[in-house]
């Protein structure tokens, strides 16, 4: 699931385009020419420091692209300029210090707009071709799922690309977004062992996934030590398997979270730079040192912590949750993660101590550390909190594989008084 140019969620369906050999050969040459024009535009903009907006890039590149690549129509050249500008702006916004080659296009593809195609339906579509005043017709197999999507959703501008020497169409469908009802918020704390714990007292732990991931990572370490060609080939295979396992687990976790939580607002920590901010331990200044000078010194590097934290698919879980929440009339908000695990959610003071999965309050109360952090996250939002008392004084653990939620009582989390 992705977003279209208007910021609305879309579902994409890929289908192979069926056309005559002459039209197929023409479009293969056309996409190759478009890729060359795109790379030339990116290089020119970078070397001449053209301002990264659509108007400036168009004025700087349109004329010479039309003369150097006569096979492309005027609308295709406009699309090339827009795509190049968008790619360079993304690199700049991500603060990536790269060269023009970082935005180069290696795969043959082109996003079609309303001036390049017409009559997109379940039977096919007509695309602007090499003959003036005539469009090339692309048809595709109307599978039942594709027919269902055309009947239920509105199709958007398709993407034509090449895979295995064949032309394919990626058709996005705009998904209607449900209206949000209510403004109560629930806090979500993400962790290494428990993927998430909510302020309502719900936790998600998939021990089967954790066990299989340990096995895969052990095999990857063994293959890395070999260094042979066959070991590298098997290493790539294991890496793809681990990625599929993470994606599957995130989909199941998001589904369970949205099923068991009724709050319309889901509040999470902004963990974009958490690995850099926690990569080193805080260095305590000595008595003879001044605080200002000691604060600039780096502490001991937390290598083991970084390796463990990098295995948690936090970004994937957050992106999936943001998309899925829109479809059911909910939204995801982020707050500052500073000291959420060190603060007592009942008093708002940093006078407790965290030991493992427990948070020892100054008055003797014992709370679950992850739930306490989730409660602090919920309280930092500007909305009323849904619930801050775990059921029966303990966390409710969701099963990783079963569709039925199984609850377990844990005595490590006392009632929130």
Residues 197, 302, single domain; the answer is: yes
152 within some domain: yes
Q: Are residues 128 and 69 part of one domain?
A: no
Question: Per the structure, how many domains does the chain have?
Answer: 3
pTM over 0.75: no
Element (H, E) at 211: helix 207-226
- Residue length, the chain? 417
Check whether residue 274 and residue 312 sit in a common domain: yes
Residue 293: per-residue pLDDT: 43
Do 265 and 324 reside in the same domain of the chain? yes
Please say which residue of 138, 154, 176 terminates a domain: 176
* DSSP 8-state code for residue 246: H
* Whether residue 2 is found in the same domain as residue 45: no
Question: Where in the sequence is the domain holding 151, given as residue range(s)?
Answer: 1-18+109-176
Round to whole Å and give the CA distance between 256 and 74.
49
235 inside domain: no
- In a shared domain, residues 58 and 148: no
Q: What is the mean pLDDT of each run of 10 residues along the chain (417 residues)?
A: 63 90 90 92 88 89 90 88 87 61 80 86 84 81 89 89 91 80 86 88 89 91 89 92 92 92 89 67 55 50 69 87 86 88 88 87 87 90 74 68 41 39
pLDDT per residue as tens digits for the range 112-123: 888 888 888 888
205-242 pLDDT tens trace: 988 998 999 999 999 999 988 889 999 999 999 999 99
Strands (E), 284-377: 331-335, 353-355, 358-360, 366-368
Dihedral of alpha carbons 93, 94, 99, 103, sign = negative
- Of 77, 107, 137, which marks where a domain is finished? 107
The answer as to whether 238 is a domain residue is no
Give a yes or no: residue 216 inside a domain. Answer: no
Q: Which long-range contacts (CB under 8 A, 24 or more apart) does 403-407 make?
A: 405/256, 405/259, 405/260
Separation of alpha carbons 159 and 157, rounded Å: 7
- In this structure, are 4 and 82 located in the same domain? no
3-state secondary structure of 111: strand
Residues 14 and 27 in one domain: no
> Do 417 and 364 form a contact (C-beta atoms < 8 A)?
no
> Is 319 contained in some domain?
yes
CB 3 within 8 A of CB 327: no
Whether residue 30 sits in one domain with residue 136: no
Burial class (CB in 10 A: 0-12, 13-18, 19+), 395: buried
pLDDT at 32: 92
Question: Are the C-beta atoms of 413 and 217 separated by less than 8 Å?
Answer: no
Question: Shortest CA distance to 332 belongs to which of 226, 211, 207, 196?
Answer: 196
Q: How far apart are CA 80 and CA 347, in angstroms?
A: 57
Does residue 236 lie in a domain region?
no
Alpha carbon distances (Å) from 216 to 192, 193, 312? 17, 17, 14
Q: Are residues 83 and 120 in the same domain?
A: no
In this predicted structure, what is the pLDDT of residue 243?
Answer: 92
In a domain, 220, yes or no: no
The answer to whether residues 14 and 48 belong to one domain is no
Domain boundary among 76, 92, 107: 107
- 3-class state of residue 187 by DSSP: strand
How many angstroms separate the CA atoms of 347 and 361, rounded?
Answer: 10
Q: Three-state SS for 9?
A: strand
Other CB atoms within a 10 A radius of the CB of residue 402 amount to: 10
Residue 267: the pLDDT is: 92
Nearest CA among 386, 385, 354 for reference residue 368: 354
Comparing CA positions, the residue from 282, 284, 281, 415 lying closest to residue 361 is: 415
In 10 A of CB 288, how many CB atoms? 5
Helix (H) and strand (E) counts in the chain:
11, 18
The SS3 of residue 13 is strand
Cα separation of 339 and 6, whole Å? 36
The confidence score (pLDDT) of residue 235 equals 92
**25 and 160 fall within a common domain:** no
Q: Does 240 map to a domain?
A: no
Integer angstrom CA distances of residue 47 from 41, 57, 101, 206: 10, 13, 12, 50
pLDDT at residue number 33: 92
Q: Alpha carbon 223 to chain centroid distance?
A: 29
């Amino acid at each position: 699931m992705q977003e279209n140019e208007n910021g609305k969620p879309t579902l994409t369906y890929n289908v192979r385009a069926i056309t005559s050999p002459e039209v197929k050969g023409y479009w293969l040459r056309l996409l190759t020419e478009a890729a060359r024009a795109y790379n030339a535009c990116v290089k020119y903009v970078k070397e001449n420091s053209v301002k990264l907006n659509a108007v400036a890039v168009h004025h700087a590149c349109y004329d010479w692209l039309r003369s150097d690549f006569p096979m492309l129509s005027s609308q295709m050249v406009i699309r090339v300029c827009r795509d190049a500008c968008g790619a360079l702006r993304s690199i700049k916004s991500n603060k990536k210090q790269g060269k023009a080659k970082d935005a180069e296009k290696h795969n043959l593809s082109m996003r079609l707009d309303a001036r390049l195609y017409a009559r997109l339906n379940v039977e096919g579509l007509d695309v602007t071709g090499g003959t003036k005043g005539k469009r090339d017709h692309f048809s595709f197999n109307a599978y039942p799922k594709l027919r269902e999507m055309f009947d239920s959703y509105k199709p958007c501008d398709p993407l034509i690309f090449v895979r295995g020497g064949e032309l394919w169409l990626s058709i996005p469908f705009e998904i209607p977004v449900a209206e949000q009802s209510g403004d109560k918020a629930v806090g979500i704390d993400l962790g290494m062992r428990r993927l998430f714990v909510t302020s309502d007292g719900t936790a998600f732990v998939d021990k089967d996934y954790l066990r299989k991931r340990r096995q895969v990572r052990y095999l990857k370490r063994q293959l890395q030590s070999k260094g042979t060609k066959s070991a590298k080939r098997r290493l790539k295979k294991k890496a793809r398997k681990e990625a599929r396992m993470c994606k599957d687990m995130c989909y199941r976790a998001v589904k369970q979270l949205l099923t068991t939580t009724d709050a319309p607002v889901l509040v999470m920590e902004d963990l974009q730079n958490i690995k850099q901010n926690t990569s080193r331990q805080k260095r305590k200044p000595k008595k003879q040192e001044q605080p200002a000078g000691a604060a600039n010194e780096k502490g001991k590097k937390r290598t083991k912590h970084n390796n463990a934290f990098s295995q948690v698919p936090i970004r994937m879980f957050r992106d999936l949750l943001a998309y899925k929440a829109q479809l059911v009339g909910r939204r995801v908000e982020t707050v500052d993660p500073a000291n959420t695990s060190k603060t007592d959610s009942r008093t708002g003071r940093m006078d407790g101590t965290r030991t493992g999965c427990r948070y020892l309050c100054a008055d003797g109360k014992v709370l679950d550390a992850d739930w306490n952090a989730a409660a602090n996250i919920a309280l930092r939002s500007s909305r009323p909190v849904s619930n801050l008392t775990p059921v029966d004084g303990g966390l409710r653990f969701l099963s990783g594989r079963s569709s039925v939620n199984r609850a377990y009582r844990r005595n490590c989390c006392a009632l929130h008084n």
